[in-house]
Amino acid sequence: MSDDRPAPSAPQFGDADARIAYNRAFFALLRVERSLVPDISAALRDLGIADPIWYEILFATEEAGAEGVPMLDLQRRLNVPQYALSRHVARIEKAGLIRREATPGAGRGQRLFLTEAAEGLQKKVWAVYMDRIQQAMAPRLSTDEAYDLVRLLNRLYG
């Protein structure tokens, strides 16, 4: 098995070992997430979205259309443990934004469908994300840098 990673570069930021760069990158991602999410979460709560993951669940459900989205597919797509996803789905259902249907066959499979109350909500939520993300990132990154960052982060996902 070959290792496709480039050879390590010289340490930076005063590190004795260049591998510390991976730790720095990880903790920088966490700090960025913690700095952006509270403001976004507060704006989403004003729309009735209690947690940012609700948007991802609603978006995936909307994308699935009339067929609905299987919970197992959603769990894999969002990389969320089953118990946490079930809790979020129960709360979204209680808020009247989705409905569940049991899938035929063995097991306890379920599909999610948007309710009428959720129609158009994704556009409002997206507007919040667009506004807050632009405010936070556009002054600090060019669009080329943002695309480069996406490419790098996509290599880390999955």
Per run of 10 residues, the mean pLDDT along the chain (length 158 residues) is: 68 88 93 93 91 92 92 92 94 95 79 92 91 94 95 85
Compute the distance between CA of residue 134 and CA of residue 57 in angstroms, rounded to an integer. 22
Residue 126 CA to its chain's centroid (Å): 13
Q: Where are the alpha helices (DSSP H) in 4-120?
A: 20-45, 52-64, 71-78, 82-94
The confidence score (pLDDT) of residue 71 equals 93
Contact 43/128 with Cβ under 8 angstroms? yes
Residue whose structure tokens are 């699935």: 64
| CB-CB neighbours of 107 under 10 Å | 8
Give the pLDDT score at 1.
46
pTM, 2 dp: 0.76
Question: Are 136 and 150 contacting, i.e. CB atoms less than 8 angstroms apart?
Answer: no
What are the chain's domains? 20-147 (1.10.10.10)
